Structure 1
């Protein structure tokens, strides 16, 4: 069946309506998976191109889990290619700057804001130390606020595995935070 200009315009409009509201979530997941905002932009762009190409296969009302699954798979494909070529991705120090945009409060004192920024930096650093399988479920649950079932769909895991990875990830995150805080106080 040949797609007419009208059909293509309707398809494009539907894709924009369904997919574009989840662009921030897609970027957030990609950024946490790859650790670099520039790579994350590339991953999201590739994922959205794939999503548009296969949009006719999407049937449902909530495109978010479907799109995040594509982002995750796009990242894993890229990561596997890089591992095979032994090319490492350098951490982008400017990632922290984007994390704290919009934190200003009109009546907050500077010390409170500084402490909040420091706490967020420690959490960010601790989260980066987690293995990817724990980091991804933590980001999807705690930052993107997805349900266990949605995470299971995105990560192609049983719900029980999602729950156990979250529990282990939280324990590892707490241990990493304690270590970072001890180092910050002592050092």
Structure 2
């Protein structure tokens, strides 16, 4: 996702911002995408978050720029969500956007893989925001518990609890789906 930062400040500040923050743009978009559950909304969140990050870059005093940026993305998402005050309970799953690429499996294997990925994707999207964001930050962005706590403003114990609950809910959903699929199989 291309980003152009127009500045009225110093070029040194802009260069420092670009070197420090822009390498984490993909992680920012990934978190925004999972929180917003929509590509366009995620782009809006990242754009606003990057503007906020640039505006407040002087308050960044070193440390992990990725964690700092992800915290801004998270906070931006929730503030924009509050402003919109309309969180759709269910959004359609777009199979064209979320395809699973595999080298050369059999058609049967491809069908099973697509079903598993689709089931996992749907189960993850159906998690409540706090559980989904903890799981995305840990499993997809590979953040430590301490980094997640810093990003979300929660205690490490809360992060660990949310991760445990999120994993259990995903596991239960996957088992439930597997049981339902077997029930509908033709002998």
Whether TM-score is above 0.5 comes out as: yes
Counterpart of 1:141 in structure 2 is: 138
Aligned residue number for residue 176 of structure 1: 173
Provide the aligned length of Structure 1 versus Structure 2. 177
Which runs of 5 or more structure 2 residues have no equivalent in the other structure?
1-6
**Aligned CA distance change for structure 1 residues 88 and 7 (closer, same or farther; 3 Å):** closer
More helix, by proportion = 1
What CA deviation, in whole Å up to 9, does each residue of 1:158-184 have, x standing for no partner?
111100110111111111222233333
Q: CA deviation at 1:61?
A: 4.3
8 Å Cα contact 2:93/2:122 also seen in 1: no
Once the two structures are superposed, the pairs formed by residues 1-187 of structure 1 within 5 Å of their partners are 8-83=10-85, 87-89=86-88, 91=91, 93-94=93-94, 96-100=95-99, 103-105=101-103, 107-187=104-184
* TM-score normalized with structure 1 length: 0.84
The 8 Å contact of residues 68 and 154 in structure 1, kept in 2 or not, is answered as yes
Structure-2 change in CA distance of 1:92 and 1:54 (3 Å): farther
Distance 2:39 2:93 in 1: 10
> Aligned to 1:93, what secondary structure does the other structure show?
coil
Secondary structure of 2:10's partner?
helix
Distance in 1 between residues matched to 2:96 and 2:21, nearest whole Å: 26
Task: Output the aligned Cα RMSD.
Answer: 2.2
Deviates more, 1:12-21 or 1:63-72: 12-21
Distance in 2 (alpha carbons) for counterparts of 1:123 and 1:53:
37
Equivalent residues of 1:69, 1:154 under 8 A apart: yes
